[in-house]
Structure 1
Amino acid sequence: MSITEDVMAEARRWIGTPYRHGGSRCQVGSDCLGLVRGIWRALYGQEPQVVAAYSADWAETNIGDPLLEAGRMHMNEKPLANAQPGDLLVFRWRDGMAAKHLGILSDEDRFIHAYEGHSVMDSALVPQWRKRIAGVFTFPDRAAATQATTYQ
């Protein structure tokens, strides 16, 4: 299977996982970052970097844009117009604030994400979501990801 097929298969496996802030365990509990961390672990065997504990309002109190920065460090950025299923979507709630939500594009108009108060779900990528996309990234092939985590 291709990396995209593997991303999609793993993301679908997480559907129904209860929402849990800071969690990253399939069918136990996960937030949006935990979903991406879990997919990464399943694909590459380990996470690309250590994630410190974070509060629910971290984006409102933090300087910088750590989700976009991490995406650029570990993945391949691409234009929204070229987004395909299996790509990571990064969302920004408000201008001037750090991006703070993540999801996996599941088809042209849907994405898989951990939704607070609900679970990991496949949701419609309606205009209200689409206009908040701040970045699109592809998962690297396994050889590139393994080499990057080995030399950090």
Structure 2
Amino acid sequence: MSGAEALGGRNCADGSAVAHEARRWLGTPYVHQAARRGLGADCLGLVRGVWSAVVGPWPERVPPYTADWSEASGEEVLWRAARRHLLPARGAVPQAGDVLLFRMRRGAVAKHLGIVVSGAEAIRFVHAYSGHGVVESSLSPAWQARVVARFCFPGGAGSGSAMRAKAPGGEFASRRKGATEASRPVGHPRLGARVGNLATIGKRGARWQP
């Protein structure tokens, strides 16, 4: 099932609106698990905040999570949640409004998110970075090499404003102590993706096929 089918055939939300909202968060201090513009946010909190402004209420309860996410178990919890609620990104290269998922080091789980605010040849993205807060950065070769998936926020099937009803259970919710993951782990793609290769990201839930 494709991401579009999973979300009722919706298209991506307006990228300029997503980028505009993401830039409103610039300067917000970095606070783990927070999602309050101007007060504090981490990378997931930034995405949640932009979602709330552009799409609507966040579709799942997010339980407490540690800074290392699920590195000890190797479970791709954040990736699975992104596949559940976001759509595969459009086009061959990142464009405004896209959500990037990063693997910060080889062999670790993907646990960092950013929102593209300008595309074409000068790709820039906004993200909440420990020790820096919410900042805007260039998608430099070093950052490009860490990208493992590319998504977009869902828009409504017609107006672009409606979103699907809350799922009864999700990947975030499954992280409760003793819970079982709903699906098998996503494999670890190798690092080293270049911007020109990002067209392949988004197939089968935005998984990179080298």
TM (normalized to structure 2)?
0.66
Q: Which residue of 1 aligns with 2:93?
A: 82
Greater per-residue strand proportion: 1
State the alpha-carbon separation in 2 of the partners of residues 147 and 111 from structure 1.
24
Aligned with 1:57 (options 51, 68, 72) = 68
State the alpha-carbon separation in 1 of the partners of residues 127 and 23 from structure 2.
10
| Contact kept? 1:74, 1:145, Cα under 8 Å | no
Gapped regions of structure 1 (runs ≥ 5)? none
| Contact kept? 2:60, 2:167, Cα under 8 Å | no
State the alpha-carbon separation in 1 of the partners of residues 81 and 161 from structure 2.
13
Aligned with 1:127 (options 126, 129, 141) = 141
Greater per-residue helix proportion: 1
TM (normalized to structure 1)?
0.88
Structure of larger gyration radius: 2
1:12 to partner: Cα distance? 0.8
Residues 79 and 86 of structure 1: is their aligned pair in 2 closer, same or farther, counting only changes over 3 Å?
A: closer
Amino acid in the other structure paired with 2:25: W
Residues 72 and 27 of structure 1: is their aligned pair in 2 closer, same or farther, counting only changes over 3 Å?
A: same
Amino acid in the other structure paired with 1:148: R
Aligned with 2:131 (options 117, 120, 130) = 117
Q: Which residue of 1 aligns with 2:39?
A: 28
| Contact kept? 2:116, 2:125, Cα under 8 Å | yes
Gapped regions of structure 2 (runs ≥ 5)? 1-12, 169-210
Aligned with 1:149 (options 139, 156, 165) = 165
1:88-144 alpha-carbon deviations (Å, 9 max, x no partner): 000002333210100001123211000101111111111111100010001111357
1:3 to partner: Cα distance? 2.1
| Contact kept? 2:29, 2:132, Cα under 8 Å | yes
1:95 aligns with 2:97: no
**Mean Cα deviation higher: 78-87 or 66-75:** 78-87
State the alpha-carbon separation in 2 of the partners of residues 76 and 110 from structure 1.
20
Residues 147 and 18 of structure 1: is their aligned pair in 2 closer, same or farther, counting only changes over 3 Å?
A: closer
1:80 to partner: Cα distance? 7.9
Q: Which residue of 1 aligns with 2:52?
A: 41
Aligned length: 151
Identity rate, percent: 44
